[in-house]
Amino acid sequence: MRMRSKPWAKPELEACPFFLRHPEQQKGRWHEWFPEEGAIHLELGCGKGYFIAGLAPLHPELHYIGIDLKDVILAPAKRVIEAAFDGKPIHNVALTGHDIERLREIMGEADQVERIYINFCNPWPKPRHWKRRLTYPTRLEDYRMLLAPQGEIWFKTDDGPLYRDTLRYFEEAGYEVYWTTEDLHADPCSDEITVMTEHERMFSEQGIRIKAAKARVLPRKE
Ligand SMILES: C[S@@+](CC[C@H](N)C(=O)[O-])C[C@H]1O[C@@H](n2cnc3c(N)ncnc32)[C@H](O)[C@@H]1O
């Protein structure tokens, strides 16, 4: 999807204390970037930031990193997150721009991420494009490298084929899927996975059921 250019995006992000222009400088040292100790929760493809905005003010003990591709997306995310904090200082959020296919350039084993959220990633329906899916087994291998032992991936989508394929990808890449639903908003669960993203709100309003899964990384087989 083409985003309309936003001349204000770059200067506003440059002045934002929780935006990192050079995330590669943080590789292996993300915990040091936050002023206090806490587990890292990473959102891949955070879009306009509604998910982190819904969680970060409620969980000052956790550190949220949101990654997306471009300033035109990240600058609105910055505004949405600031609005959610309502003028209070923001110490537990980092936003940055990078291609998740090259995640290894900016994060490594030492970063010990406890949870990764993947919300409404592009389903790439054509088989020749499947390898671009953010849940494809090669991507899940990359995430395994930075996840803490017992680290988890929480995944949501509107897309049935992507959902079913992703359950299989998890198993293939050495994750245990321990919770699933094919209708999140009819499910009695009430934890962080129910916080609505921008796309989730849009699909739910169209009557599309939201599918979700939680998976935990298994120790590597010797
Ligand atoms: C369909 S939107 C979903 C946004 C948000 N998670 C939501 O649920 O509203 C997918 C997002 O993933 C981002 N994205 C897709 N591929 C990416 C990549 N390789 N690296 C970084 N971000 C990516 C897009 O820029 C877009 O903001």
Domains with residue ranges and CATH for the chain? 9-217 (3.40.50.150)
Helix or strand (DSSP H, E) at 181: strand 175-181
Confidence of residue 194 (pLDDT cuts 50, 70, 90): very high
- 102-123 tens-digit pLDDT: 999 999 999 999 999 999 999 9
- Closest CA relative to residue 186, chosen from 177, 178, 194: 194
- For the CA of 100, the closest atom of ligand 1 is 20
- 26-60 tens-digit pLDDT: 999 999 999 999 999 999 999 999 999 999 999 99
pLDDT score recorded for residue 222: 63
pLDDT score recorded for residue 91: 97
- For the CA of 200, the closest atom of ligand 1 is 8
Tokens representing 176 are 């245990």
- Closest CA relative to residue 193, chosen from 134, 139, 119: 119
| Per-position DSSP letters for 16-42, written without gaps between them | -TTEES-GGGGTT-HHHHSSS---EEE
Q: Report how far residue 62's alpha carbon sits from residue 79's, in angstroms, rounded to the nearest whole number.
A: 20
Nearest CA to ligand 1 atom 24: 45
pLDDT score recorded for residue 49: 98
pLDDT score recorded for residue 57: 98
Is the CB of 68 inside a 6 Å radius of any atom of ligand 1?
yes
Mean pLDDT of 7-24: 97
Confidence of residue 1 (pLDDT cuts 50, 70, 90): low
- Give the alpha-carbon dihedral of 138, 141, 145, 150, to 10 degrees: 150
Confidence of residue 5 (pLDDT cuts 50, 70, 90): confident
Is the Cα torsion angle 197, 91, 192, 105 positive or negative in sign? positive
Helices and strands per DSSP (H, E), number in the chain: 7, 8
- For the CA of 70, the closest atom of ligand 1 is 25
Nearest CA to ligand 1 atom 13: 45
Considering the entire predicted model, what is its pTM?
Answer: 0.97
- 153-187 tens-digit pLDDT: 999 999 999 999 999 999 999 999 999 999 999 99
pLDDT score recorded for residue 2: 62
When the pLDDT of each residue in the chain is averaged and rounded to a whole number, the result is 96
- For the CA of 43, the closest atom of ligand 1 is 6
Nearest CA to ligand 1 atom 5: 47
* Distance from the alpha carbon of residue 47 to the mean position of ligand 1, in angstroms: 5
Is the Cα torsion angle 69, 75, 78, 83 positive or negative in sign? negative
| Per-position DSSP letters for 70-97, written without gaps between them | -HHHHHHHHHHHHHHHTTS---SEEEEE
pLDDT score recorded for residue 221: 73
Is the CB of 142 inside a 6 Å radius of any atom of ligand 1?
no
Is the CB of 121 inside a 6 Å radius of any atom of ligand 1?
yes
pLDDT score recorded for residue 171: 97
